Amino acid sequence: MRKPECDYDVVVAGGGAGGVGAALGAAKAGARVLLVEKYGFLGGAATTSQVLAYCGFFQQGPEPIKAVDGAADLVLDELRRLGLDCAPFSSPTTQNWIILLESEAVKLALDRVLAANGVEVLLHTRIAAATRTADKIQSVTLAGMDGRTRVSAESFVDATGDANMSLVAGVPCRTGDLDGKLQAISAPI
């Protein structure tokens, strides 16, 4: 239950697949959610970097076996309403079942799904600062087209992909494992 002094239950920074999933999950659980995205549209790599496939919805193997649903189904259903096929396609290079995308349809689908689920979205907005009490973030300052605004919440999710919220909140971060080693490429060579 939201405390009276909080603007939101959850603030999610980053409007890519992870941030959208976090926002939809929190909203479905009854939370009042704000999603903040630095670009003028949602979608993350699918829209900003033209990575035009969703992977991981199906298990690897000779037949597509569904592996996830929930927020993913909401987005895929909206993409189908917009005319995309969304049938799984077997990638010859990775042996993964993928869903081919069209970036403009993804932008519109995400807008519609978040609105339908009561998620408030601020585009062209970044996390500029954070106020902490001990290890807990209490509020963030948002910098957007209308200037700066401070919002408080019970929970915060950093789904920026570059740890922006964690950075401004002073959360210690590391690169790689405890030895600094990064994950090796996972595609077959």
d(CA 45, CA 88): 19
Give dist(CA 1, CA 32) in Å, integer: 10
Distance CA 86, CA 91 (A): 14
Give the DSSP per-residue string, 69-120. -THHHHHHHHHHHTT-----EE-TTT--EEEE--HHHHHHHHHHHHHHTT-E
Q: State the burial class of residue 171 (Cβ atoms within 10 Å of its Cβ: 0-12, 13-18, 19+).
A: middle
Q: Tell me the β-bridge partners of 8.
A: 153
pLDDT in tens, the chain (189 residues): 445 567 999 999 999 999 999 999 999 999 999 999 999 999 999 999 989 888 889 998 889 999 998 999 999 999 999 999 999 999 887 778 999 999 999 999 999 999 999 999 999 999 999 999 988 999 999 999 989 999 999 999 999 998 999 999 998 888 888 888 887 765 554
Write out the H or E segment, with its range, that includes residue 57. Answer: none
Return d(Cα 33, Cα 6) in angstroms, integer: 11
The two tokens of residue 111 are 């807008």
38: how many CB neighbours lie within 10 A of its CB? 19
| pTM attached to this predicted model | 0.89
**CA dist 104 → 48, 51, 78, 133, 139 (Å):** 11, 12, 13, 41, 33
List the 33-36 sheet strands across, edge first: 120-122, 33-36, 8-13, 147-158, 136-144, 126-133
The CATH number of 8-169, from 1.10.10.410, 3.50.50.60, 3.30.70.3340, 1.10.10.10, is 3.50.50.60
- Written as six digits, the tokens of 55 are 């992977």
Q: Give the pLDDT confidence score for residue 1 in this predicted structure.
A: 46
